[in-house]
Amino acid sequence: MPPPPALSDLSRAELEALLVELFGKVAGLEKVLAEQREEIARLKGLKGRPTIKPSGMDKGTDPAKAARQEKPQRRGKVTPRVIIEDRVVKAAAVPEGSRFKGHEPFLVQDLIISASATCYRRERWVTPDGRTVLAPLPEGIDCHFGPELRRFVLMQYHQGQSTLPRLTALLRSVGVSISKRQVQRLLTDKQDGFVSEARDVLRAGLETSAYVSVDDTGARHKATNGFCTQIGNDWFTWFGTTASKSRLNFLDLLRAGHSDYVLNDAAYGYMRKHAMSAPLIARLMAEPQTDFADEAGWLAHLERLGFTALDVTPNPVRVAALAAETFQVGADAARAERAASMRPRPLGRGNATESRSDPPADRASMRPRPLGRGNLDAIVAKLTAVLPLQ
């Protein structure tokens, strides 16, 4: 290899060409060096460089492979999911002497999306004493947008994955006078009816089902980590998202909106079983009030008795709340006897329980018993002995 000329005698173009040539030689030498290192590692029995598979995003950009030619399946009979309206179409210019051979059906499905506006002229009367009597609006009308429009907005946004601007443009295109802010209010305001309906589904399911299964999973709500709990069986399903998965939270969900607290003999027994101080139990038993309508009244009662100021183990506020929430069987002797004869059996992952009576002698009486209020109270009572106290 001839020695390189003096660099000071080379022009700029010659220096750039020499630099490019040297870069190419260095890249070639690095490649040879890497191959020799892999060969040496292979001869020594060492592991070579790992093979990293391409990600799924790379596969998504590759052209689709030709699928095997399968025999096309014939489309089944089209059955509309709505009531079919029959219309007879008369034939024109039928020659004399022709015979009528019935009708040939031709099914047509169509979609009609139209806007309507109704002005309710409500009668207004003034009584002799000065009061104003105003005629009520029809059932289901509580704002300036009807129930069908609200249903359409909710379905398109949640089920159809339509954005707010596109949904607003769609409504305006069919003749609805509405703004983006009003669409947002339809999506977020006045949703108490849906909450009440979901609560009624849970109550009806717990009262009529022979068993229920429960599961929970992590979920985020309003940028905060939470837990979504599922309660149901083959006939109903209910979901609730809360910030905790503790026993108190689980009992609150099983109570399906009931917020009362009750102190009775079973509740006092639960407190003694969980090592609550005897003087604290005596304070509760000395008070004449044993029923509390909501959590606020219950906590005010505990604060008046000095429970909230105590820093002891176990926490008296928590143990008392578990007892008062769980044991609401009441003083009815038949209900208490029926609840005492029931034992829980785990279903699935351990969070679910099934209420069954003791095995009877005849198989005819082994049919599952509906979860009435007494049976549900017994299940909740047994759950406190199964779930860990958190």
Q: Residue type at 374? A: G
Location of structure tokens 């089944």: 76
344-348 own/partner pairs: CB under 8 Å, 24+ apart: 344/379, 344/382, 344/383, 344/386, 346/386, 347/211, 347/213, 348/213, 348/214, 348/215
Cross-strand bridge partners of residue 261:
292
86-124 per-position pLDDT tens digit: 999 999 889 988 999 999 999 888 888 889 999 999 999
User: For residue 256, which of 236, 270, 274 has the smallest C-alpha distance?
Assistant: 236
Residues 111, 114, 120: CA angle, nearest 5 degrees: 140
> Which of 164-173, 208-217, 380-389 has maximum average pLDDT?
164-173
3-state secondary structure of 37: helix
> Is the pTM here over 0.75, yes or no?
no
Q: Residue 142's closest CA among 196, 80, 192?
A: 192
Confidence class for position 381, pLDDT limits 50, 70, 90: low
- Are 144 and 183 in contact by the 8 Å Cβ rule? The answer is no
Query: What separation, in Å, do the N-terminal and C-terminal C-alpha atoms of the chain show?
Result: 81
The Cα–Cα gap between 377 and 335 comes to: 10
CB neighbourhood size of 238 (10 A): 18
Q: At which residue do the structure tokens 């029923």 appear?
A: 291
Instruction: Report which of 261, 265, 278 is spatially closest to residue 316, judged by C-alpha positions.
Output: 278
Separation between Cα atoms, residue 335 and residue 357, nearest integer Å = 13
Annotate 302-325 with DSSP letters as a single string.
HHHTT-TT---SS-HHHHHHHHHH
Nearest CA among 157, 156, 63, 148 for reference residue 114: 148
Beta carbons of 254 and 234 less than 8 angstroms apart: no
Quickly state the pLDDT bin for 11 (edges 50, 70, 90). Answer: confident
State how far the Cα of 237 lies from the Cα of 233, in Å rounded to an integer. Answer: 6
At CA 243, angle to CA 373 and CA 216, rounded to 5? 60
Dihedral, 82, 88, 92, 95 alpha carbons, nearest 10: 130
Q: Supply the pLDDT for residue 177.
A: 93
Given a contact cutoff of 8 angstroms between Cβ atoms, the answer to whether 306 and 287 are in contact is no
Measured from the Cβ of residue 164, the count of other Cβ atoms closer than 10 Å reads 14
Q: What is the pLDDT of residues 285-319, one digit of tens each?
A: 888 888 888 888 888 888 888 888 888 888 888 88
Task: Look up residue 230 and give its two tokens.
Answer: 């599922």
The answer on pLDDT for 65 being more than 60 is yes
Bridge-based pairing of strands 124-126 and 132-134 is: antiparallel
Instruction: Report pLDDT digits (tens) over 223-239.
Output: 888 899 999 998 899 99
pLDDT exceeds 50 at position 55: yes
Task: Give φ, ψ of 343 to 5 degrees.
Answer: -130, 145
Tell whether the model's pLDDT for residue 182 goes beyond 80: yes
Q: Which of 218-222, 283-287, 370-374 has the lowest mean pLDDT?
A: 370-374
Rounded Cα–Cα distance for residues 295 and 300 (Å): 8
Please give the pLDDT value at position 132: 94
β partners of residue 228: 217, 241
Amino acid symbol at 291? D
